Amino acid sequence: MTTLIDGTAIAATIRDEIKDDVARLKAQHGITPGLATVLVGDDPASATYVRSKRKACAEVGIESFGYELPATTTQDELLRLVAELGQRADVHGILVQVPLPDQIDEKTALDAVPIQKDVDGFNPANLGVLGVKGQRPVFAPCTPQGCIELLDRTGVKIAGKRAVVLGRSTIVGLPVALMLLSRDATVTLCHSKTVNLPSVTREADILVAAIGKAHFVTADMVKPGAVVIDVGTNRIADPTRKSGSRLVGDVDFEAVKEIAAAITPVPGGVGPMTIAMLLKNTLLAARRRAEK
């Protein structure tokens, strides 16, 4: 029997735990965790993401401070706001939603977030130490952390397993590979130049797909009994839907679920975990402040 890894349910459990911890932090230290969200421009998908993040904050008792800047905002204006938020005692975490408009260099903007408030875990100093033995990041990036948490909470052992990650993006593929390595998996990181990809993916006990191509991973690429984590969220046309489209993952779910031991659906797998990990990092940031 294939286990469906229910990210919606696991994320709900984590949010309940966070809600209790937030209440305890308030009672014991009088501190309410605060997250500043910075949205530049009017990309509808980004606006929806930020709204979901702020709603999730409200549900667990985290205060969110929303900043919505026009698409014409200059890099200096954004950097000034980030610097100001960096100084504020009631802001424990800062999230600059990406993508940013063309006139703003994304790397410069993300690097400006002080590492102690980088709850997205996007700062290169946070990403870099993931690969260093004996060191831990101030904050682990949310989506990779969500993947690991799904494995842990499903009872999947990581140490000693063959893990194959598809995609080497800076915010998902590379960090999830480093995190699996730090948990003692034997890791292969595949990308667009990998030769004979199916022969590599078929070796995986744990297969993580993060390439952003709908239904890319087919059943012949998966070892029977593998655990499959699908990070993809791809919108494809679907005339049977009122909206005319639907979200699918990087994995051909219907075919792969027949041979995998466990698999995450899309939607309802990794997606809800990303926000749960953002809340967890914001709580952690506030806790560190309380302990200072």
Q: Indicate which residues carry an active-site annotation.
A: 53, 97, 120
Site for ligand GUN in 30-59 (CB under 6 A): 49
User: What's phi and psi for 274, nearest 5 deg?
Assistant: -60, -45
Place of tokens 């595949």: 190
The number of residues that bind ligand GUN (CB under 6 A) is 8
Would you say 82 or 226 has its CB closer to ligand GUN? Answer: 82
Q: Rule CB under 6 A: choose which of 85, 119, 140, 142 binds ligand GUN.
A: 142
Residue 292 CB, shortest distance to ligand GUN, in Å, is 25
Question: What is the torsional sign of CA 63, 69, 74, 77?
Answer: negative
The answer to whether the CB of 71 falls within 8 A of the CB of 103 is no
Q: From the CB of 45, what's the least distance to ligand GUN, in Å?
A: 8
The counts of H helices and E strands in the chain are 10, 11
- Cα radius of gyration (the chain): 19
Tokens coding 181: 């390595």
> Cα(10)–Cα(21) distance, rounded to whole angstroms?
17
Least CB distance to ligand GUN at residue 178 (A):
17
Q: Which residues contact 226 (CB under 8 A, 6 or more apart)?
A: 204, 205, 206, 207, 259, 260, 261
Say how many residues make up the chain: 292
Q: Is 120 in the site for ligand GUN (CB under 6 A)?
A: yes
- The CB-of-128 to ligand GUN minimum distance in angstroms stands at 18
Which lies closer to ligand GUN via its Cβ, residue 264 or residue 274? 274
| Interface mask toward ligand GUN for 185-214; x: CB under 6 A | ------------------------------
CA 233/CA 44 separation, integer angstroms: 16
Work out how close the CB of 176 gets to ligand GUN at its nearest, in angstroms, rounded to a whole number: 13
CA-based nearest residue to 237, from 227, 228, 247: 247
Cβ 113 to ligand GUN, closest distance in Å? 9
How far, in Å, CA of 81 to CA of 58, rounded? 23
Is 64 or 274 the residue whose CB approaches ligand GUN more closely? 274
Which single residue brings its beta carbon nearest to ligand GUN? Answer: 98
Candidates 274, 281, 283, 289: give the one binding ligand GUN (CB under 6 A): 274
Closer by beta carbon to ligand GUN, 142 or else 256: 142
The amino acid at 60: V
The residues in 80-119 that bind ligand GUN, with binding defined as CB under 6 A, are 95-98
Name the residue nearer to ligand GUN (CB basis): 49 or 139.
49
Q: What are phi and psi of 22, to 5 degrees?
A: -65, -45
From the list 227, 196, 202, 228, the residue with the least C-alpha distance to 215 is 228
C-beta closer to ligand GUN: residue 43 or 203: 43
User: Contact positions toward ligand GUN, by CB under 6 A?
Assistant: 49, 95-98, 120, 142, 274
